[in-house]
Structures are given as C-alpha cells and as structure tokens.
Amino acid sequence: MAKQISLSQYLIEKQREKNLIPAELRLLLEVVARACKRISYAVGKGALTGVLGAAGSDNIQGEAQQKLDVIANETLLEANEWGGHLAAMASEEMDHPYTIPNRYPKGEFLLLFDPLDGSSNIDVNVSTGTIFSVLRLPEGVKESLEHHFLQPGSKQLAAGYAVYGPSTLLVLTVGDGVACFTLDRETGSWWLTCDAMTVPEDTKEFAINASNSRHWFEPVQRYVADLTAGRNGPLAKDYNMRWVASMVADVHRIMTRGGIFMYPADQREPDKPGKLRLMYEANPMAFIVEQAGSTLHERVAVFLGSKHEVERATRYHEG
Ligand code: AHM
Ligand code: MG
C-alpha cells in the first residue's frame, strides 16, 4: 500500500524541501486545520448537541446568524489567538477585526475567514464549510489596524477551504498548487488524498442561483440563455446546472470535475455589487488578483471555474 502523507508532513516538506513557507506559517495552517476539525465535529453532532437553528443575532451584512455560525467563529478565534503567529483576525461574522489579546505573543500574519459558509444549509443537513485566507502584516507595522487587511488577493500567502460533507475535506494552497486532505474522523488525522488538483479546462456544467435571473444584467442574461439553449443554441452543447447554495460545495465540485460558478452583481442593490464577500469568499476561493483598494466587508461579483468557460462568460461582458 502506498505510504500516506499527513497534512503535517505535506506542510513540513513545503517548508523544508521547497522553502515555500516559513515555519510560523506552517504552524498557523496546522492550527487552522485543527479548528476546522473541531467545527466539523460540531456540525456532525447536529441536533444531538442542540447546535441547529438561529442564534438570534445578525451579522454586519444584516444576515441572521445561525448558532453554528457563532460556534465556528469562536472556535477559529480560540484556536488561533494564543499560538503567537497572528497579529489579528477578521471574520465575515464580526463587525471589526479581532486583535490578539496582549496576554499572548503577537505574530506577523493576518487570518481572514468565513467561519461557516453556506449557513442556510445547516438545518437541512447539506454540506457547509469554512473558507480562510492568510496575509502578512505590511512591513514595519507593529500594531494591526483594520486597513492592514485591505490587501489585494495577489498578496495572499495561503488560502483554503474545508467542506463539511459526507467526508470532511481540507483544500489548501500555499502558492504551489492545490492539495486536498481528507479527515479520518476516527483518528482525527488529515491525510493527503489529492495532490496538484487541477480544474478541467472545459465543462458542460454551470452553477448560478437562477431564481435571481430577472435581476441580472444583460450580459449574464444572454450568457445563461445561451447555456440553457443547449445543443441547438449558439454554444452547440447541452449544459447541466447544479446549485448547492454552499460556495464551498459548489467550488469543490468545480475543482473536482470542472464547471463555472457565478454569483453576479445584479440590479437589486446597485451599492452592493454581488452577494459574496471579497475578502472572505471571493479572494481566497478565486485568488482574485488586482483587487486593491477594497473595503473589508466589500461584496463582489464572482465568476470562477473551468478556463474556457470563464473566458466565454468574460466575452459576454466585453463590448
Ligand atoms: P454565507 O457565507 O452567509 O453562508 O453566504 C454565502 C453563500 C454561499 O456559500 C452561496 O454560494 C450563496 O451564499 C448562496 O446564495 P443563495 O442563497 O442566493 O443561493
Ligand atoms: Mg459564506
């Protein structure tokens, strides 16, 4: 049987043999993975521990928080605050960044996360996940402030997501390809189950919340009309549609077998360009580059997936 590679071994090799990440970043990623493991156990217990249902509070986006949103947020804060690797953390579920308390040593990294993505799926037992991104505190800065998080996606040192589904997965990049680890729920270990993940360049699958179609701008209307026109339409292909409503699950499907994921801006709220959050969802998921000058809770339109299909969708927006 082939030798299994643990998450620790994978990261140590990135650090030691390839010199790609500093030891501090490796340790930080191991702590994030440990927190995801705890969140996975909490999600898995579900109704047995009374964690389903609404928390009775709203986040800064005005969305009702679920109990597990709050639990996942606290799990990530508690796991990461004492290790000495971080200067601060920012979360979709918190109005402002969380600075590491003075009783703990501070490090040079910033951690951003959507603690429980796809929270509308919690109570119906459909996959949810965690999305995270790691940035470095700008050079010479000793105390982190909110604006230090506002860095373009191209500055990310690492990003990843966990999927709490039939199995628990961790998909990770430190800028040297993408690896996927599966959690052995009996031993609590993460094992490398797919190295060098690549998205197929062509696809016959798309993901979009079609119930919003009347609000879409014309290029998206036209593109989706062409996708659904099938083999007799201009794209001469029958497409299939999937929408889990958990970005982690939809993106993971595309990472595995190709597709295009879209959450476009629409005409409902012109001051909110899209539903998804740039810093916690779009940047880590898509490594969106050249997104400087954004604000922390900024929303953004998202198109990502198979190379040729994303190029096609882009052409609909040109001219
Ligand atoms: P959340 O982070 O509050 O769970 O919201 C983000 C989620 C994404 O995971 C998903 O792609 C999208 O919202 C689903 O939106 P919709 O409810 O329009 O289907
Ligand atoms: Mg989310």
Start-to-end CA span in the chain (Å): 55
Rounded to an integer, the average pLDDT of 185-201 is: 92
> Could you tell me if the CB of 209 is within 6 A of ligand 1?
yes
pLDDT score of 129 more than 90 = yes
State pLDDT tens for residues 105-128.
Answer: 999 999 999 999 999 999 999 999
Question: What spacing in Å lies between the alpha carbon of 115 and ligand 2's midpoint?
Answer: 8
Task: Kindly report the pTM of this predicted structure.
Answer: 0.92
Instruction: Identify the pLDDT of residue 286.
Output: 66
Q: How far does residue 174's CA lie from ligand 1's centre (Å)? A: 25
Q: Is the CB of 246 under 6 A from ligand 1?
A: yes
What is the Å distance from ligand 1's center to 3 Cα? 38
**∠ at Cα 177 (171, 178), nearest 5°?**
10
| pLDDT (0 to 100) of residue 153 | 86
Q: Cα separation of 70 and 233, whole Å?
A: 46
More reliable by pLDDT, 60 or 52:
52
The yes-or-no verdict on residue 7 having pLDDT over 90 is yes
Higher pLDDT, 63 or 227: 227
> Is the Cα torsion angle 134, 136, 142, 144 positive or negative in sign?
negative
Residue 132 has pLDDT above 90, yes or no: yes
Q: How far is it, in rounded angstroms, from Cα 196 to Cα 73?
A: 29
Residue 63 has pLDDT above 90, yes or no: no
Q: What percent of the chain has pLDDT over 90?
A: 64
136 close to 116: Cβ distance less than 8 angstroms: no
Ligand nearest to the CA of residue 246, numbered in listed order: 1
d(CA 8, CA 199): 25
Which of 67, 93, 262, 263 best tests ligand 1's pocket when mutated (most atoms within 8 Å of CB)? 263
Q: What is the pLDDT of residue 289?
A: 23
Q: Ligand 2 centre from 28 Cα, in Å?
A: 22
How high is the pLDDT of residue 201?
A: 82
202-211, 229-238, 263-272 — which is least confidently predicted? 263-272
Tokens 């927006």 correspond to 317
pLDDT confidence tier of residue 5, bands split at 50, 70 and 90 = very high
Q: Check: CB of residue 242 under 8 Å from CB of residue 75.
A: no
pLDDT in tens, 247-304: 999 999 988 888 999 999 899 887 777 888 878 888 888 642 222 224 434 455 778 8
- HSE toward the beta carbon, residue 234, CA cutoff 13 A: 8
pLDDT above 50: residue 159 = yes
Question: Which of residues 236 and 277 earns the better pLDDT score?
Answer: 236
Question: How does pLDDT run across 31-45, given as a tens digit for each residue?
Answer: 999 999 999 999 999
Number of the ligand closest to the Cα of 261: 1
Of all atoms in ligand 1, which is nearest to the CA of residue 243?
19
Strand ranges for the chain from DSSP E: 54-58, 64-66, 86-91, 98-99, 109-117, 128-136, 158-164, 168-173, 178-184, 189-194, 205-207, 240-241, 260-263, 276-277, 299-300, 302-305
